[in-house]
Amino acid sequence: MIDWKIVMAFLVGLILFIHGIENFSHEVLHFAGERFRKLISRATRNRFAGGVVGMIVTAVIQSSTATTVITISLVSAGVISFAQSLGVIMGANVGTTITAQLVAFELTAYAPIFIIAGFLLGLFGKSYRYIGRGIFYFGLVFFGLNLISEAIEPLKNHPFVISLFANLTNPYVALLAGLVFTALMHSSSVATGLVVVFAASGVLSLEQGIPILLGTNIGATMTALYTSVRLNVFARRAALAHTIFNVVGVLLIWPLIGLFSRFIMSLGGSPAQQIANAHTVFNVGAAVLFLFLLTPLKKLVEKAIKSDEEELLIATKYLNAALPKSNSRSFGLIEKEASYSLSIAYKFYNKSVEFIRDPKKADFNVVEKFEVLADLLDEKIEKALLELSRRPLTEMEAKKVVLLVRISNLIEQLADTAKNLGFQPRSMNRSSLSLSPESLKSIEKIYSKMEPALNAVQHEFPHQLIDYTSLFRQVDRVDPIINRGYQEHIKRLKSDQAYAGSSFVGSCSILENGADLLKEIMKLTQKYARLKKR
């Protein structure tokens, strides 16, 4: 007969453990989440540095799921690239082994000290309160595990428990158990912590524990996959890479599981330490292997999730550090960044017109990313020019600074018109309307007069090797085309053939403004090019 007091003690311990893990991650992220995001974004240019960062962040917040989800969200936001995310994700798998190691080293005995210290520290000021909460929940994690350990001690020889865990002698059942439990709990740390505790109590053997641990690795990918479904293609690729990495790692070790178990036993230690060591050795080995195979993994994922979409990163391309001491080199970098800003405005317009053509496929997250990037580039260019203006400058250099400020501001305003155009399909989608074929043809005709000039100015700046005369004439034709478009639109209104009338008028007005800004940019870039030739 089951002793319900013991069962209740086990359930209370499990609840406290899960509650502690979730809230510890929450408190740490609340206190230092932005720092972690900045750390990940800065340290991912090198795959190995990214792996170390993923490991450290996961070790601190005690959740590889949280690290992976943060990383995928950064990919979606354009803060880091899909390729940069891979090292962090692999490092996260190593960092998650810290929980098992702490349990194996019987940190549970010190749980009351952490709980009391965290509670007392939380009574002080605001920053201390957050630190205190983190320490409190850290202690609660191990206090819950301690309760579980005490609860299962008298049950380990119970027929029901023996029967339950006897099924785990089948490695496939054990693997499935680890996978399902981790997927349901959204935390591999919970599953691995329990496996270590059960091993310490003599309920689970190393041979039973290893397949469960392998199952937790696969189960840990489910949250990231679910999270990425509504995100962009690059975030979905990052989630798929995480899944492939974990699944392939398990497939590689599975035929050697007996040999792997004997190797872990040869390292010595208590049953709990052996389980923790198995978890660490496997994850470190898999991470090191795949860090050297990042390029093939990246290509495989890109083939699996195909897309022609260009990855857009919210970052400068040339102004990434302090300006050089040389004024000429500084101007060179600023000119390149301004040229890049023009290319972004050009791509922004193309994307917005594409969304006008097919409002149902409009991705407003892409519009927002373009806007954020355009604003960032303008801000960084102006900041660099401000720094440059504080130096001793020649009259020619001073004129160049003024022109570059004006050009950068106009580019940012041009990007704003592209943003307004890109958001036009939102109102069409809300009202389930679309532009009439005539209205769409009119908008495309207007943009066809702007596109060659936009394309030319982004390629030619800052030197301008071609004559802009014919391009100016084309852009000047925008106003007459818009006026004819308005007249034809009035006729369509009278005949009830206008479908999304306000969107057509709004789009024409935006393009008219964009054309005026484009002409001003062309004039200033011409002036700047002449200045450079002197």
The residue with tokens 């060179």 is 332
Which has more pLDDT, 120 or 379? 379
* CATH (one of 1.20.58.220, 3.30.230.10, 1.10.510.10, 3.30.930.20) for 327-533: 1.20.58.220
Mean pLDDT of 199-226: 87
Q: Say how far apart CA 112 and CA 150 lie, in whole Å.
A: 15
Residue 386's pLDDT band, with cuts at 50, 70 and 90, is very high
Residue 498's pLDDT band, with cuts at 50, 70 and 90, is very low
Q: What average pLDDT does the structure give for the chain? A: 83
pLDDT of residue 127 exceeding 70: no
> How far apart are the two ends of the chain, measured CA to CA in Å?
97
pLDDT of residue 52 exceeding 90: no
Identity at 58, one-letter amino acid code: T
pLDDT of residue 450 exceeding 90: yes
| Of residues 514, 436, 511, 518, the one with CA closest to residue 481 | 511
> Whole-model pTM?
0.78
The Cβ-side half-sphere exposure at 80, using a 13 Å CA radius, reads: 28
191, 227 contact by CB (below 8 A): no
Q: Say how far apart CA 80 and CA 85 lie, in whole Å.
A: 7
Report domain extents, the chain.
4-151+159-304, 327-533
Share of the chain above pLDDT 90, in %: 37
pLDDT digits (tens, 9 = 90+) for 288-302: 998 888 889 999 999
The per-residue DSSP string of 139-194 comes to HHHHHHHHHHHHHHTTTTT-HHHHHHHHGGGSHHHHHHHHHHHHHHHT-HHHHHHH
Highest-scoring range by mean pLDDT, 4-8, 141-145, 191-195, 235-239: 235-239
pLDDT of residue 99 exceeding 80: no
pLDDT at 22: 61
* Neighbour count for residue 200 (Cβ, 10 Å): 23
